[in-house]
Amino acid sequence: MILDAHGHIGAWPDFLIPDPSAGGLVAMMDRLGIAAMGISDLLGVGPDAVEGNRRAFEAAAEHPGRFGVWQVYNPHHRTPLTDRPGVWGVKLHPDVHQCRLDDPLYEPVFALGLPVLAHGQTDSPWSDPAQFAAVAARHPEVPLLMGHTGLWPYGFARAARLVADHPGVLLEVCGSKITGRWISRLAALAGAERVVYGSDACFLDLRAGLGRVALAPLAETDRDLILGGNLARVLGGRLA
């Protein structure tokens, strides 16, 4: 079963996304054999988390079982969160919100205990992998997905090292700079059970993201873990 840990719907101001629709994602997921995707609405990542979360839940309701919702939490607005069915967890974007991942403003999120998917970016003042290690030390019981594994290739190995002793942290591998070869390397560095497939679609093309794992030089057992096994273990009963 293929599960996509990192997805979005909606437009983004920085560039043109030719197809930002939920329906377009589901049609492509059907063709590629992707069972479900965790999404946040890009409006929610941006200025309006409440409305973005409403849109994400609406898309999930329109396509039962195909979308889990990563509710966006804006630390400045203390966005209301829920643990209703269909929730996969909480999405944090420390860079967009300009609030460090290890800032106490996020403590209400980690106190909930829901899985957390956070943007991770090496050398960012907001989301450097070292901050994932710091948060994981405070909340070892919270599953924490490091989005993009730090984004920049020069930081991938360091990211894996920094969270090696924090088994609650998983390395999520979407991003335009990562390669299939690096995904294989991360599986060797961190263990395949710590690596999770995500695409970042519709922000990025779903096929390019899946292809990086599908065609990476990996053992098939490792590929299965990365493509869905690890995320299914984290989500447990949250999967519809």
Partner 1 sequence: MPFDDLPADPRPDMDRLGIEAACVTHTLSLYADPAAGNEALSALDDPRLIPVPVVVPGVPGASVPATLDEVLDWDVRLVRLCPERHRFELTGPVALRWLAAMAARDLPVAVDLEETSPAALRTLAAEIPDLRVLLLNPGYRRLRAVAELMATVPNLWLEIGTVNTQRGVEWLAERYGADRLVFGTGAPVLDDCGPRFLLDHLELGAAEVELIASGALRRLM
- Selected from 96, 130, 207, 224, the binder of partner 1 by CB under 8 A is 207
Identify which range of 12-20, 84-92, 107-115, 228-236 contacts partner 1 by CB under 8 A: 12-20
29-58 mask for partner 1 (x: CB under 8 A)? --xx--------------------------
The token pair that represents 188 in the structure block: 């060797």
Cis peptide before 202 (omega within 30 of 0): yes
Chain Cα centroid distance, residue 127: 14
Q: Looking at 13, 18, 104, 236, which residue binds partner 1 (CB under 8 A)?
A: 18
Stretch that binds partner 1, among 42-50, 89-97, 124-132, 202-210 (CB under 8 A): 202-210
Shortest distance, CB of residue 144 to partner 1, whole angstroms?
25
The distance of Cα 25 from the centroid of its chain, to the nearest Å, equals 16
**Binding of partner 1 at residue 182 (CB under 8 A)?**
yes
**Residue 192 or 235 with smaller CB distance to partner 1:** 192
Residue 55's contacts (CB-CB under 8 Å, 6 or more residues apart) are 9, 10, 41, 43, 44
Per CB under 8 A, 153 contacts partner 1: yes
* Amino acid identity, position 30: D
Q: Hey, which bits of the chain come out as E strands? A: 2-9, 34-41, 67-72, 87-92, 116-119, 144-147, 169-172, 195-196
Site for partner 1, rule CB under 8 A: 14-20, 24-25, 31-32, 153-154, 176, 178-182, 185, 201-217
